[in-house]
Amino acid sequence: MNEVKRCTLCGGEADAAGMNGEVPLAKCRACGFAYAAVPDSEIAATNRCGEETTDRYRRLQSGFDLAWFDWLVGRFPGTNVLDIGCGNGLLLRRYQRAGWNVAGVDPAPWAQSDDYRVFTDMDQAPLDFYDVVMCTSVLEHVPNPAKMLRQALAVARPGGVVYMSVPNFDSWVARCRAERMRPQSAPYHCNFFTARDLRHLCKQAGARSYRVRSYGVPLAWDFWRKHRMKATAAAAAAPKTEQNASCPTWKHRLVVKAYYWAAPWRGDKLELRVKK
Ligand SMILES: [Zn+2]
């Protein structure tokens, strides 16, 4: 029998944990982390985005991402930001508009830009330099997440912030339908983090000061409320149309609010904030 791939978080021995579609899963005996038990080369090949285009990437991004990025830009103080996995630069352009010096890391040829520097590898970024290092929706795609966090911490200046976000595999949705949360045909997402795993990751990377929390519907609620306030003002000024009628009703708001208050650790995503 073949040996199961060792834990991508702590390097410990793991047991096979069944199949998710065509992707074999593993669970670490030491730390309990769940991940796709496939070779690193297969993960790299699946996630290679060199052949894809900025248009395809843009189609994957929702209105929620745009609002969320706008909110992220104002969250941490500083003037220099590095975005790991910057893609088409959606987040970096927002930072640029707010007056920051920006740079990105992305191996995809289409991520290169004339508007800012894009490193193709983490090794090219200056050490101990950035006030803020962003890394959103990246950690679930890489074969070695602990190495990525260590690299992110290395390029942050002392006192700077590393901010990462990943899907939450302890969310209500994941608890009800874990198989739907994981890719069925290829290891596109290969690491299935819970809040406990992110805290463990920080210890692995030697981080001293960090905070993990879940979001998703809670944050969506904030944006929804703001949108609703704008929509209400517009509706008061304009004659009643079908579009105005599609504003969330008090029933919708009640359901979202109940989800928010009842599930502080069950949001769709997890965010990790590490202070260097
Ligand atoms: Zn482990």
> Residue 27: phi, psi to the nearest 5?
-130, 130
Tell me how far the alpha carbon of residue 234 lies from the centroid of ligand 1, in angstroms. Answer: 52
Tell me how far the alpha carbon of residue 180 lies from the centroid of ligand 1, in angstroms. Answer: 23
Tell me how far the alpha carbon of residue 4 lies from the centroid of ligand 1, in angstroms. Answer: 12
Tell me how far the alpha carbon of residue 32 lies from the centroid of ligand 1, in angstroms. Answer: 6
pLDDT of 228 over the 70 cut: no
pLDDT tens profile 19-48: 888 889 999 999 999 999 999 988 888 877
Helix (H, G, I), strand (E, B) or coil at 238: coil
Sign of the torsion formed by the C-alpha atoms of 164, 165, 169 and 170? positive
Tell me how far the alpha carbon of residue 113 lies from the centroid of ligand 1, in angstroms. Answer: 38
pLDDT value of residue 45: 82
Tell me how far the alpha carbon of residue 104 lies from the centroid of ligand 1, in angstroms. Answer: 30
pLDDT of 121 over the 50 cut: yes
Phi-psi group of 137: left, alpha or beta (phi > 0 → left; psi -120 to 50 → alpha; rest → beta): left
Tell me how far the alpha carbon of residue 16 lies from the centroid of ligand 1, in angstroms. Answer: 13
Question: Which range, 51-55, 110-114, 172-176, 180-184, is most confident?
Answer: 110-114
Q: Is 263 exposed, middle or buried (0-12, 13-18, 19+ CB in 10 A)?
A: middle
pLDDT value of residue 93: 92
pLDDT of 260 over the 80 cut: no
Tokens of 273: 């904030």
Tell me how far the alpha carbon of residue 8 lies from the centroid of ligand 1, in angstroms. Answer: 7
Better-predicted residue by pLDDT, 229 or 25: 25
How far from the centroid of its chain's Cα atoms is residue 180's Cα? 18
Those residues whose beta carbon sits under 5 angstroms from the ion ligand 1 are 7, 9-10, 12, 28, 30-31, 33
Tell me how far the alpha carbon of residue 13 lies from the centroid of ligand 1, in angstroms. Answer: 7
> Residue 270: phi, psi to the nearest 5?
-115, 140
pLDDT value of residue 107: 87
**Tokens 């730390």 found at:** 31
**Number of Cβ within a 10 Å radius of residue 271:** 20
Tell me how far the alpha carbon of residue 78 lies from the centroid of ligand 1, in angstroms. Answer: 35
pLDDT tens profile 48-81: 755 566 666 666 555 556 667 777 888 899 999 9
Report in angstroms the alpha-carbon separations of 228 from 15, 218, 219, 243, 249: 48, 15, 14, 12, 10
- pLDDT > 70 fraction of the chain, expressed in percent and rounded: 73
pLDDT value of residue 243: 44
Tell me how far the alpha carbon of residue 143 lies from the centroid of ligand 1, in angstroms. Answer: 13
Q: Which domains, ranges and CATH numbers included, belong to the chain?
A: 14-275 (3.40.50.150)
Better-predicted residue by pLDDT, 208 or 262: 208
> Residue 205: phi, psi to the nearest 5?
-85, 0
Tell me how far the alpha carbon of residue 112 lies from the centroid of ligand 1, in angstroms. Answer: 35
Better-predicted residue by pLDDT, 265 or 26: 26
Tokens of 199: 């805290």
Tell me how far the alpha carbon of residue 200 lies from the centroid of ligand 1, in angstroms. Answer: 9
DSSP code, position 62: -
pLDDT of 92 over the 80 cut: yes
pLDDT of 105 over the 70 cut: yes
pLDDT tens profile 216-227: 654 455 555 566
Tokens of 86: 């910057």
Closest to 82 in 3D by CA, of 105, 114, 111, 49: 105
Distance CA 102, CA 120 (A): 15
Closest to 220 in 3D by CA, of 171, 268, 162, 179: 268
pLDDT tens profile 129-172: 999 999 998 999 999 999 999 999 999 999 999 999 998 888 87
